[in-house]
Amino acid sequence: MALTVVHDPSPTEFLEHAGPLLYRDEPTNSLMLGLCGNILRAKESPKVPPVFIRVLKDGCTVTAAVQTPPMNLVITFAKTDELELLAKHLREVHAEFPGVVGPAVESEAFSTIWSKLSGKTKMLGMGQRIYKIEKVIIPKTIGRLRLAQIEDGDLIAQWLVEFGDESLPPPERKSFEERRPHAIRAIENQLAYVWLVDEMPVSMAHVGRPTQNGISVSAVYTPKNLRKRGFASAVVAHLSQKMLDSGKKFCVLYTDLSNPTSNKIYQNVGYQEVADSKHFLFEDRNV
């Protein structure tokens, strides 16, 4: 029962073969599925072609990985020998990626294998938990949900900077100048939302990476001086309900396991645990 590696030329072909495997656990694989969907919907082709890899056993797809350079490698459930073959193949083709994201056990195993093969040091960037929601508990909080508008662009960009500084590992933090184009795109694509109190934005959340049945909620942020008033709970709950009302069967979000407050907030509005995920970073040993 030999294992082989296949590169698919497009997200369409990749999803044709890997989709049935990934959709067995759509919430856990929402990142990989959502990235493929984003590439399919993009108006322009990426400057550097994305990588779509499948590991086959007797001709059947048993695991898969996706990378959109220069971002992290995203993996799914896999056995040790499948991860070893994947890592060896990536090494042979001189693949470059700053880190790996995937189910906790697989991500840790792959990072160990890759560290030995590449000579790089692995570092845990974040321990995460994946949650999903199918029925929302709406909290009683003053204010209302609104789509972010172009005039909110600078504010959204600044909040993305602050969100990154608080929640992302240092290599993934970005400046205002780097965040602003992302903020504008999110607004133009109607993916960014704010919670208003007295018609002033006090909190935000984004949606994105839609899959067949779900969509991800991310970038939940409230400035420090406005916290402990229920605004994060409100924006997440109302935005999740809006997505369910639009036809999605569930919403997914990732939390930082080191932040018990955010984990409690999401559970209080109806999010339920799905799986743990780990994000490892790779650094040169002489750094």
At residue 286, the pLDDT reads 64
Question: For residue range 161-184, what is the model confidence (pLDDT) as tens digits?
Answer: 999 999 998 888 999 999 999 999
With a CB cutoff of 8 Å and minimum separation 6, the contacts of 135 are 270
Higher pLDDT, 47 or 29: 29
pTM above 0.85, yes or no: yes
Residue 287 has pLDDT above 60, yes or no: no
At residue 262, the pLDDT reads 87
Q: Where are the alpha helices (DSSP H) in the chain?
A: 11-22, 30-41, 80-92, 104-118, 153-167, 176-188, 231-245, 260-268
At residue 42, the pLDDT reads 87
DSSP, res 168: S
pLDDT above 70: percentage of residues in the chain: 99
At residue 1, the pLDDT reads 65
Higher pLDDT, 37 or 171: 37
Rounded to an integer, the average pLDDT of 146-160 is: 98
At residue 95, the pLDDT reads 94
Written as one string, the DSSP assignment of 9-25 is SSHHHHHHHHHHHHGGG
Question: For residue range 223-271, what is the model confidence (pLDDT) as tens digits?
Answer: 999 999 999 999 999 999 999 999 999 999 999 999 888 899 999 999 9
